[in-house]
Structure 1
Amino acid sequence: MADSDVKHVFPSASTMGSKLENFSPRLSTGETETADQLLENLGYKPELLRNRSTLQVAFMSFVLASIPYGLATTLIFPLVGGGPVNIIWGWVAVSLITVCVAASLGEITSVYPTAGGVYYQAFMLAPANWRRVASWTCGWLYVVGNITITLSVNFGTTLFFVGCINVFEKEPGVGVLEGSNYQVFLLFVAVTLLCNAVSALGNKWLPWLDTAAIFWTFAGVIAMMVTILAIAKNGRHDAKYVFGKFENSSGWPDGWSFCVGLLHAAYATSSTGMIISMCEEVQKPSIQVPKAMVATVFINTFAGLLFLIPIVFVLPNIQGLILLPQPVPAIITSAVGSPGGAIGLLIPLMVLALLCGVGVTTASSRCTWAFARDGAIPGSRWWMKVNRRLDVPLNAMMLCMVVEIVLGLIYFGSTAAFNAFSGVGVICLTASYATPIAISMFTGRKQVKTGNFYLGKFGYFLNIVSIAWSLLALPLFCMPLSIPVTATTANYAPVVFVAATAISSIWYWAWGHKNYAGPPVQGQHQHNQ
C-alpha cells in the first residue's frame, strides 16, 4: 500500500496539528512492508488496509467495551446481586482481573499478531499432537463469543432504547411504547442492519469514528454526573451507602449472589481480546495491540467509576428498579425529575450504544473471516472472501448478521433471551482467552519470551489469575440471576453454549479431523475449504 493511498483515505491528517501526529494513520511504505512481512511469516497473505494507529486501536478497544453503555444495559445484575457494593466493588474487582487477562493476551499477541487471534495462538503454542483440536475448540469459542456478544450488544441497545423512550409516559407507570415482542424484535433488526451498514460502507472512516467516540463518551458522562448530582430531585445517599450497602435480592446466599452480579462487569470487559482480530489492520500489531489492550482497561475502569458512583448516589428504591428490564433510564429520570432532562442526558449513551454495535460488528466479522480463511467454518470458500471495493470481509459480516437475527427470534419464546446472549458471549470469550494463556503457562511460557511485550516472571502471576477467573466464570454465568427459577427467568446461556459446542463437535467429527490442518505455518498456506 502506497503512502498516497492512505493520504487519500485521510486527506486532512497532516493539517490537524502536531498534537495528533503521534496517532496519525499515515505510515511509510517501509512500516507497511514490515507488518505485512511479519504476517506473511506467520503464513498469511496481507489482504486488509492497515489504517489504524496505536491510539486508534486503543480507542476502538474502548468502543468495543463502550463504558458506560455496557454498564448501563446490564445494571440489573448487580442491583439484584448485591446493590451498591456489587455495583462499585464488583466493577473494581473485575477490572483488576481484566488487567491480568489483557496483559497475558498481550504477551502472546506480540508474538502472533494475526486476525485469527486466540485460536491461531492456541495452535502455535500447543504441543504438535493436539494443536489441531486446541485451535479448533478455541476458534469456535472465539467466533461464537464474538457473534453472541455482538448480538447481545445490539439486543441490549434495543431494550435500552425502549427504556429511554419510555421515560415519557402516557400515564404514571405506563410508557408511550408498549415494548411488545414484535416491536422489540423489529427494532433489534433495524439496529443490527444499521450497524452492519456503517461497518461495511464506512470502513475507512471507522478509526476516526472511534476517536470521536472517546471524547463524546467522557463529555456525556461528565454532563450526566454533574447534572444528576446537582439536581438529585429525590435526594442523595451518603458515602456509607454508596460504598458499603449490600442488599441481596436474588435469593442466593450473599457470597454467591455477589458473584452472580459480577456478570455486569464481566460483560463490559469481555471485549478485551476482541481487538486482536484487528491485528491485520494496524501498522505495528506486535506492539500496538498489546499496549492498546492493557491501556484500555485502565481507561475503562476510570470511565466506569465516573459513571457508576454518581448513579449509586442518586439510586431510587432498589426493589422497584429490579422489576425493570433497563433500570438506568428510570434512575436518571428520578434524579433530574423530568423526562425531557432525562432524555437529554441519555442521548450520549444511545449514540455510544450504536457506536459499540458498529465496533463489535467489525471485530466479529474479522474473526469469523479469519477462522473461515483456515477452512474451519462450513462453506469457508465463500466466507473467506474480501470485498475489494469496500476493503472488508463482507460475506463473513453478512453470515454473522444472519446468525444474530435468527438467534434474536429466541426473544419470542423468552424475555430472558438477552441474559442468555450476554451470558454465553462472556462464557465463550472468557474460555477462548484462557485457552492460549493456559497452554502458554503449562508449556513453560517459552514462546512469549521472544515477543515485544514479555512480562518476565510476573507473567506467571498474571496467567494464574486469568485462568482462575475463567474457571470461576464458566459455571458462574450459567446460573440464573435469581431463585426460584421460572421459565421466563431461567438462564438459557448453557443451552446456547451446548448447542454451539455440539455443532462444532459434529463438524469436527464429520469433516475437521480429516481435513482441518490448522492455520498455515512458516509461510505455507494450508487453506482447507
Structure 2
Amino acid sequence: MVLCTCLASSVISRLQTVSIVSNCFIIILLFIALPIGTKINRGGFNNGSFIFGKFENLSDWNNGWQFCLQGFMTCVWTIGAFDSCVHQSEEAKDAKKAVPIGIIGSITVCWILGWLILIVLMACCDPSMENIIDSPYGFALAQIIYDSLGKRWAVAFMSLIAFCQFLMGASILTAVSRQVWAFARDNGLPFSRYIKMVNKTFSVPFVAVWFAGAASLVLGLLCLIDSAAASALFSLAVAGNYVAWGTPTVLRLTSGKDIFRPGPFYMGKFWSPVVSWISVIWQFFIIILMMFPADQHGITKDTMNYTCVIGPGIWILSWVYYIAYKKKYFHGPKSNLTDDEYAEAVGSNVLDEIMSESGKGA
C-alpha cells in the first residue's frame, strides 16, 4: 500500500479511477446477485415494515440513545474520508472549485448508495438479528451473503471487498501522507526537516508517505488485541477527525471572522454562520457519542470503550508538546503565495492589521 502511494500524482489519480470502478462494480453485483439468491434460496424478501419500521434494541441503553449509537455511529464511520480532497488541494487544478465539488460529490454518492445498500441488505437478511450479529464468521455482511448465496459467493464477495478496501486504504494513506507533509513543512512535527523532503524526480514526499504508513501500521496493531481495541481505534479516528474539522470552523466564526474571505462556494452572510454553528454543535455531539460504550451496565475490560481515555490523552499530550517545545518553531501554515498574491487574497486592510499585530507582538 505504501509503495502504491509513492507513485506520482498522475498514476495515483488513475488508481483512484480503478478504486471507483471496482467499488461501483461490487455494489451493482450486490444489487443483482443478492436479491436473486434470496428469492431462490430463502423463498422471498422481508416486507417494508421490517425494512423501514422495525427497531430492535439489543443493549441496555434506552431506545433513544441506542438509536443514536446504532444509527449515527455507522454513518460517521462510513462518511469519514471526504476531507481527503482538502489534503491534496495543492496538487489539484482550480482547487477553490475542485475541492468543494469533491467533498459534496463524495458525501452525496455515499449517502445515496449507502441508503440503497441498506435497503437491499435489510430486504434479504435473516429476520432474526441475533443470527446475524452473533455470526460465527464475525462479520454480519458475510453472514447475510452466505445465507442468500452460499459459501462460494460469500468467499468471492469477501475477496472483492478486501480488494476494494485495499484501494480505499491506499487513497486514505495518500491523503494522510500529504497532511503529514504539510504539517512537517510548517515545522509542526518532530524531525520535520526530514519528513518534509520531496523527491524532485517524482514530486512525491516519499519520507512523509513512509512515516504515515509506519504510524498507521503501529496503530493498526491495536486491532490484534481484541474487538474492544479495534472499536476504540475506529471511534478514535472519528473523534479525532471531528476535532480537526470543528476547530477551524469555530475559529472562523469567532477570532478569525474578520480575516475570513469567502470563496466560490459561499452561502452568504446569514446562512453561512447558521450552517457552520449547526455543524459545530453536531460535531461536538458526535465526539461525546463516540466516548460511550455499547452497553450501559456490566462494563468490563472487554466491553469498555477506551476512546474516552485514548482520545483526550492524545489531545492533552499534543497540547503539552506544543506548549513545551513546538511553540517556538510552529507558527501556523506557511503560505505558498507571494506577498502580492496574499494581499489580493485576504485584502490589503486585513494584511495591514495582521502586520500591525505582528509588530505589537514583536
Length-normalised TM-score, structure 1 = 0.59
Q: State the partner residue of 2:272.
A: 459
1:332 aligns with 2:138: no
Q: State the partner residue of 2:317.
A: 503
> Which of residues 246, 249, 269 is equivalent to 2:79?
269
Q: State the partner residue of 1:402.
A: 214
What is the Cα deviation at residue 448 of structure 1? Answer: 4.8
> Which of residues 272, 282, 293 is equivalent to 1:480?
293
Q: Deviations over 1:218-262 (max 9, x none)?
A: 222122112211221234210111001000112111111111122
What code does the residue aligned with 1:315 have?
C
> Which of residues 45, 50, 59 is equivalent to 1:250?
59
Give percent identity, aligned residues only.
24
What is the Cα deviation at residue 464 of structure 1? Answer: 2.2
- Structure 2 distance, partners of 1:345, 1:415, is 23
> Which of residues 434, 438, 444 is equivalent to 2:246?
434
What code does the residue aligned with 1:267 have?
W
1:382 aligns with 2:194: yes
What is the Cα deviation at residue 446 of structure 1? Answer: 5.0
What code does the residue aligned with 2:19 have?
A
- Structure 1 distance, partners of 2:77, 2:33, is 27
What is the Cα deviation at residue 412 of structure 1? Answer: 4.4
Q: State the partner residue of 2:358.
A: none
Aligned pairs for 1:103-122 (under 5 A) are none
What is the Cα deviation at residue 380 of structure 1? Answer: 0.7
- Structure 2 distance, partners of 1:401, 1:214, is 22
Say which one has the larger Rg.
Answer: 2
Q: State the partner residue of 1:423.
A: 235
Q: State the partner residue of 2:16.
A: 210
Q: State the partner residue of 1:341.
A: 153
- Structure 2 distance, partners of 1:394, 1:466, is 35
Q: State the partner residue of 2:326.
A: 512
What is the Cα deviation at residue 512 of structure 1? Answer: 2.1
What is the Cα deviation at residue 499 of structure 1? Answer: 3.2
Q: For 1:471, what is the secondary structure of its paired residue? A: helix
Q: State the partner residue of 2:33.
A: 227
- Structure 1 distance, partners of 2:280, 2:198, is 35
- Structure 2 distance, partners of 1:390, 1:329, is 41
> Which of residues 125, 130, 135 is equivalent to 1:315?
125
- Structure 2 distance, partners of 1:447, 1:310, is 48
Q: State the partner residue of 2:164.
A: 352
What code does the residue aligned with 2:58 have?
S
What is the Cα deviation at residue 330 of structure 1? Answer: 0.9
**Residues 1:207 and 1:520: Cα distance change in structure 2 (over 3 Å):** closer
Contact 1:223–1:345 under 8 Å retained in 2? no
List gaps (5 residues or longer) in structure 2.
340-362
Q: State the partner residue of 2:347.
A: none
Greater than 4 Å deviation, 4+ residue runs? 443-449, 521-524
Contact 2:8–2:203 under 8 Å retained in 1? no
**Residues 1:445 and 1:230: Cα distance change in structure 2 (over 3 Å):** farther
What code does the residue aligned with 1:314 have?
C
Q: For 1:270, what is the secondary structure of its paired residue? A: coil
Q: Which has the higher contact order (CA 8 A, sep 6+)?
A: 1
What is the Cα deviation at residue 366 of structure 1? Answer: 0.4
**Residues 1:198 and 1:444: Cα distance change in structure 2 (over 3 Å):** closer
What code does the residue aligned with 2:281 have?
A
- Structure 2 distance, partners of 1:386, 1:347, is 35
- Structure 1 distance, partners of 2:251, 2:307, is 26
1:240 aligns with 2:49: yes
Aligned pairs for 1:284-303 (under 5 A) are 284-303=94-113
**Residues 1:486 and 1:321: Cα distance change in structure 2 (over 3 Å):** farther
Contact 2:85–2:103 under 8 Å retained in 1? yes
What is the Cα deviation at residue 471 of structure 1? Answer: 1.2
Q: State the partner residue of 2:360.
A: none
- Structure 2 distance, partners of 1:462, 1:393, is 36
- Structure 1 distance, partners of 2:251, 2:63, is 34
Q: Deviations over 1:403-447 (max 9, x none)?
A: 222223334443322211110110011111111222222358555
- Structure 1 distance, partners of 2:192, 2:239, is 25
Contact 1:221–1:306 under 8 Å retained in 2? no
What code does the residue aligned with 2:67 have?
F
RMSD, aligned CA: 2.1
Q: State the partner residue of 2:303.
A: 489
Contact 1:374–1:518 under 8 Å retained in 2? yes
Number of aligned residues: 330
What is the Cα deviation at residue 284 of structure 1? Answer: 0.7
What is the Cα deviation at residue 501 of structure 1? Answer: 1.6
- Structure 2 distance, partners of 1:513, 1:460, is 30
List gaps (5 residues or longer) in structure 1.
1-194, 525-529
- Structure 1 distance, partners of 2:134, 2:88, is 39
Q: State the partner residue of 1:260.
A: 69
